[in-house]
Structure formats: structure tokens, C-alpha cells
Structure 1
């Protein structure tokens, strides 16, 4: 009976996940804005907040320097007009280092917080679809990064579709370790 419920749950989850991207079939293209760490928290890491701020910038640069590995367009099967990191670099640069670390392993962001983060992104208000990955909790003890994938109207900043996701962190060095979790998130798009 347990196996039946597990199988039913997995089948339902897969169907629901598949529905998340239906709106993209009508989209010709989108703009990708990278990873927004402005509301993220870090748990259990020995590195300093300053080191994390540098790593956040370097992780976002991977979308430019390692485009084949971090190819959002290929996974979504939608042309990416532009990879514009200016908006996330601006909000990530304003992260208060004193508020980056946490002792709360259950830290997450509410739907309202997600909406506010999207509204705060300094993007150009022009018609189209934007995609941003919002970091929530980087849990070193669990070697896992939690994120919210958000598609939004670039003109109005209204969220079109979003879902929670995450990925196992792995790699050598701070940047590569957490970039490993982003790689998993992109592969699950």
C-alpha cells in the first residue's frame, strides 16, 4: 500500500511539474536575469559573508563564461534574448553582510516576499517574459541550495509562474560548490 501511495504521489508530482512550463509554448523568447541572492541566507558555512558576496557575483558570471554548461535556453526550449546580470549584480551588491548568515535551517521566503524581490529588480520595463532564480537558503550542513524559479512579465513585474526547487551543492571552492546547486536547478527546469 505504501508503494502504491508513493507511486501515485510521484506520478501526480510529475504531472503538476510538467504543467508549470505550458505557458512557455506561446513565448518566442525570454530575458534571463541570473540568480538573485538579495534575500538569501547561509547556514553552517565557515566562509565569511564577504566571501559569499564575491562568490555570488562569480556564480552569476558562469552564465556568461560557461554558457554551454549553464544553458537555460536549451533546458526550457525557448530562445533567450539576453542574459542580463546587471539587475541581480546591483541587488546582490547591496546585500547586508550582517544579515546573510542564519541559524534557522527552516528559513524560506513567502510568496509575498518573492513578489517584492521581483518588483525590486531594477530591470527595464519593456514587454516580454523574464526569468530569475531567487536563492533562499544555502545550507552547508545539508549540502543543499533552495531556490525559487520565477517567470515574470518584464513590463509589469507580475509573476507569471514560479516554483520552489533546489539542488545538491558540490564542487571544489566556494563558487563551484554552490554553482553545483545552480547547475542542478537548471537541469531540472
Structure 2
């Protein structure tokens, strides 16, 4: 009886502690809350009618290349600037591990319907697969839905999560035009443009809807 009571009290304590430190939507733009950029998740990305590279090359060279260039060029891909908040650290290990498991046969598509193949309800399930052990604060991940040559654009879900619980705090689908030389730069440019769109036309409404 005493053991059962002890387990119950421990459970209540752990639940209360997790609730106390759980992030909420208002923390996304709160500079006092640490934020970590987790990278670009390509685990369910469809590359549509772009025959510039093989599926193997896309998975093993271009997907990592896009993630690497965002980290390597912080003056351009400046998340703190475009989110109008303090320092944002980088840790793309969890997303890199997910991307490495992509089946090459699932990458290429000839159907423009795949430009909209993900639903907002799919995002939580994708985030649940991340290994975020020991991480706290808000995580920012770009979940890439499609890279479309016919549309000359990419569609993506800009997603903020509570890293301790993996709960999706907010996600929004965005579509941006591609541009530049080479596969990597052509599609990496869409993430840069998404950052600009956020700064220009999203932040104000986000602040209003996220609350405090």
C-alpha cells in the first residue's frame, strides 16, 4: 500500500514538473525562452518532375547540402533577425538522423498533386519521431513538403515545437518561389524567402494570435 502511494506521489510530482516547464505558444516569440533551429526535415519531401539529379544524389548530397548551407551562411539565413528575437542556437542532429532514413524510391514524383500531399495533422506524427532527449525550450523545424520544378517553388511547414514533450506549438504552411544556380541553391532560396515573408507579413499576426 505504501509503495503504491509512493509511486502515485512520484507520478504526480513528475507530471507537475513537466507541466511547469512545458512551453506554450506564447514562448515562440518570447526572447526569454531558448530556441533551437533543428534544420530542414526532408523525410516526406516529394521532388516533382525535377530530373537534374538522381534520387540517390538528392538524398545523399542535396538534402544535406541544403541543411549545411543554412548553417554555414548565418548572415543570410538569419533566423534571429527574421523572427525578431534573440539568439537562436543550431542543432540539426535529430533531423539529420531522420533524413538519413529516407527511402530513395519515395523521393521522386511526376504528380503535381504531391505539391499538397501533407496535411497539418501529419506534422505532429513526423515530429514524434525526432530524438530530442534532454532538450528543452522551443524547437524550430522546416518540414519540407515538396520541391516542384513545374511550379518553380517549394512548399513547407514552418513548425515550432516544445522540445521536452515534442508537442507542436504552431505550424504554418508556406509556399515560396525557387531561384538560383544548382539544385541546392535553387531550393535553399525558398527557405530564405520564407524567412523574409515571416518578417514582412507574419510576425505581426503571430504576435497577436500567440498571446503572452
Shorter-normalised TM-score: what interval?
0.7 to 0.9
Q: How does 1:127-146 map to 2 (within 5 A)?
A: 127-146=136-155
**TM superposition shift of 1:81:** 4.0
CA contact (8 A) 2:28 2:138 kept: no
| Structure 1 segments unaligned to the other structure (5+ residues) | 1-20
TM-score under structure 2 length normalisation:
0.75
Q: Which runs of 4+ in 1 moved over 6 A?
A: none
For 1:181 and 1:95, the matched residues in 2 are separated by 21
For 2:105 and 2:139, the matched residues in 1 are separated by 30
1:127 and 1:114, CA in 2 relative to 1: closer, same or farther beyond 3 A?
same
Select which of 28, 33, 57 maps to 2:64. 57
TM-score under structure 1 length normalisation:
0.83
Q: How does 1:1-189 map to 2 (within 5 A)?
A: 23-28=27-32, 29-46=34-51, 47-53=53-59, 54-107=61-114, 108-189=117-198
For 1:126 and 1:92, the matched residues in 2 are separated by 20
In proportion to residue count, which structure has more helix?
A: 2
Name whichever of 22-31 and 120-129 sits farther off. Answer: 22-31
Could you give the per-residue CA deviations for residues 112-135 of structure 1, whole angstroms, max 9, x where no partner exists?
Answer: 321111111222343311100000
**TM superposition shift of 1:22:** 5.9
**TM superposition shift of 1:23:** 4.8
In proportion to residue count, which structure has more strand?
A: 1
For 1:81 and 1:180, the matched residues in 2 are separated by 20
Tell me the C-alpha RMSD between the 2 structures: 1.6
